[in-house]
Structure 1
Amino acid sequence: MNDLNEAVELLWGKLEGWGADIVLMLPNLFVALVLLILTFYLAGFVRRSLERVIRRFSHSAALNNLVLTLLYIGMLLIGFFFVLTVLNLDKVVISLLAGVGIIGLALGFAFQDIAANFISGVIIAVQKPFGVGDNIETNDYFGTIERISLRTIDIRQVTGELVRLPNKMVFENPLTNFSVYGTRRIDLEVGISYAEDLERVQQVVIEALEDVKNRVKTRNIEVMYDEFGDSSINFKARFWVTYSRQVDYVGAKSDAIIRIKKAFDENDILIPFPIRTLDFGIKGGEKLNEQLDAITASIKEGKRLGNNGQ
């Protein structure tokens, strides 16, 4: 019974001590509560105010939301640490800061690839080397950009497949953007007979390509001879076309081939077939028909001997 009384007295003493501490802490609790409310209000106000400003400098919704969210969370954490300080919980603040540092270091090692993609996405969003709708080629993939996020870039290939490339791969490897200037040059290789008048062929090709589909009229058509081939003299017909989709390029190239073929037919210009020489291993000046006659006679003789043997 004495032990029970002592336990009750000890518990009552603890409760009285806690009650006295709470009474002493009431002003600090009130200040901490007011400070916490002000923190939420101020963080929300700053976020709404900066949102209008950031939109003027960045058109990336993902990047804008990221910056505003990090700023909002940072202001809440600062206010929370002030609240703990007002409540005389300095040791808790130090422990929390140490814990945040350790957790951040561990997460950095565990998710370094994700972090690399994330940082690459931020840099891409700031530099804006390409945008949604551009035709690009990177990492052996060619297609139209459908979506840009802070982690991946979605590319719709010309054959219909959707490829999601991590931002790190796009950022670290060469990239060709075909949509930057809105134009693209077509280099068309053609071969003609050695018997043709080269200057006349040049004029015929230039006239044939004048009205090719999507051609940029302000740029000249170029017909440049570049080599003596095995059975033809080869040249390149070069001209520029407007470009927004891949079909603009392949359509203009197809139209140019049709026009050149028609122009050559109308002007009797020959596109020669490749010449091949077949070597049958005949020696001593013997003719091919003599060799064939000898082989045929040998076969007939063999059949005759076989029939006599029967």
Structure 2
Amino acid sequence: MTTNLTEMNISIEQAYDQLIDKLQGWLNATIEMLPNLVLAVIILVAFVILGKLIRKMVNRLLHKATDNKTIIDLLETIAGVIIVGIGVFIALGVLQLQGTVTSLLAGAGIVGLAIGFAFQDIAANFISGVLLSFRHPFGKGDIIESNDYYGTVQKINLRNTLIKTPQGQLVYVPNKVVYENPFINYTASYERRIDLSCGVSYGDDLEKAKKLAIEAVESLDNYDNSREVELYYEEFGGSSINFSIRFWVDFRQNSDFLSARSDAIMAITKKFDEHDIMIPFPIRTLDFGIRGGEKLNTVLGDGKQSTQEDN
């Protein structure tokens, strides 16, 4: 019994000694690492402060390049995270935890590669959205046509461009599709040309018709008088000599174009009516002969003659 107690006391003492040695080793290591630990904390705090300063600087620079608040906030946050991340890696290096740094970098690379494959379409739309925000090919309120969709730009998000059609529908067009394909910005120059086709009869004076059509357009209120009205005769049509009249209007919304075109049609029609200029409608000639070229009364007369002979 005494032997067992003695052996137990020895085991407890050994365990106690091992624990004390372990704690002593940790304490010594902590004391040795204390300067590095303080330095690492100072570095981390310094980089956090630097990250805030960089975010403010990036915010000011981006506001000069784009008005897209979503893009600005995102890029500002990314810049801050990168700066703090650099500080974390430097602090870990000061603590002589190079293995941890290597593992984190390797893990970040693998995770980034996996995310890149999984969300490549989202990433492409995001990058396209950033490029569209900085290049400014169009902005909010512009009237554009992209991928067969025509309307007013409502917003440029991180993933898509929101277009409101004249009929009131909202269309979400992916930024990648907008950036990689041709599109038309109708309000880029705030002016637009109207090409209006018409025709006059073969018996009318072409010089007179041209003069009257130009006068009709020049009398419009929404006509841009800084540009000359152009009229060109284009072809000999089936029932008229066709022409195209071209003039410019200020263009900031759809009604500017539609109302100007409508007013021009009414003005030209009224002007031609006042001066006996005829805008002919299509003429169709009906041929009732078997061999062609025979008039209807001739055909009907032959029919009556045949009937009388039969009687």
TM tier relative to shorter chain: 0.7 to 0.9
**What is the deviation of 1:144?**
0.6
Calculate the TM-score normalised by the size of structure 2.
Answer: 0.86
Match of 1:206 in 2: 214
Q: Deviation per CA, 1:137-174, whole angstroms, max 9, x where unpaired?
A: 11001011111123211111111111111111111111
1:269 equivalent among 268, 272, 277? 277
Mean Cα deviation higher: 284-293 or 150-159:
284-293
Superposed, which structure 2 residues align to 1:127-142 within 5 Å?
Answer: 127-142=135-150
2:268 equivalent among 260, 265, 268? 260
Superposed, which structure 2 residues align to 1:28-47 within 5 Å?
Answer: 28-47=36-55
For structure 1, the residue ranges without an aligned partner over 5 or more in a row are: 298-310
* 1:289 aligns to 2:300 (yes or no): yes
1:157 equivalent among 148, 151, 165? 165
Matched residues in 1 for 2:18 and 2:301: separation? 129
Superposed, which structure 2 residues align to 1:1-310 within 5 Å?
Answer: 5=12, 10=18, 13-280=21-288, 282=290, 287-289=298-300
**What is the deviation of 1:199?**
0.4
Mean Cα deviation higher: 284-293 or 205-214:
284-293
- Matched position secondary structure for 1:209: helix
For structure 2, the residue ranges without an aligned partner over 5 or more in a row are: none
Aligned length: 297
| Counterpart contact for 2:187–2:251, Cα < 8 Å | yes
| Counterpart contact for 1:213–1:255, Cα < 8 Å | no
Matched residues in 2 for 1:295 and 1:15: separation? 133
Sequence identity (%): 46
Mean Cα deviation higher: 188-197 or 38-47:
38-47
Q: Deviation per CA, 1:45-66, whole angstroms, max 9, x where unpaired?
A: 2322443344334444333333
Matched residues in 1 for 2:302 and 2:77: separation? 90
Matched residues in 2 for 1:211 and 1:110: separation? 61
Matched residues in 2 for 1:111 and 1:25: separation? 42
**What is the deviation of 1:13?**
4.5
Q: Deviation per CA, 1:26-54, whole angstroms, max 9, x where unpaired?
A: 33222222222222112112322443344
**What is the deviation of 1:99?**
1.0
**What is the deviation of 1:195?**
0.5
CA 295–82 in structure 1, closer or farther in 2 if over 3 Å, else same: farther
**What is the deviation of 1:20?**
3.3
For the aligned residue pairs, the C-alpha RMSD in angstroms reads 2.7
- Matched position secondary structure for 1:103: helix
**What is the deviation of 1:273?**
1.9
- Matched position secondary structure for 2:104: helix
The amino acid that maps onto 2:175 is N
Matched residues in 1 for 2:305 and 2:173: separation? 68
- Matched position secondary structure for 2:218: coil
CA 50–275 in structure 1, closer or farther in 2 if over 3 Å, else same: closer
- Matched position secondary structure for 2:234: strand
Calculate the TM-score normalised by the size of structure 1.
Answer: 0.86
Q: Deviation per CA, 1:262-283, whole angstroms, max 9, x where unpaired?
A: 1111111111121112344645
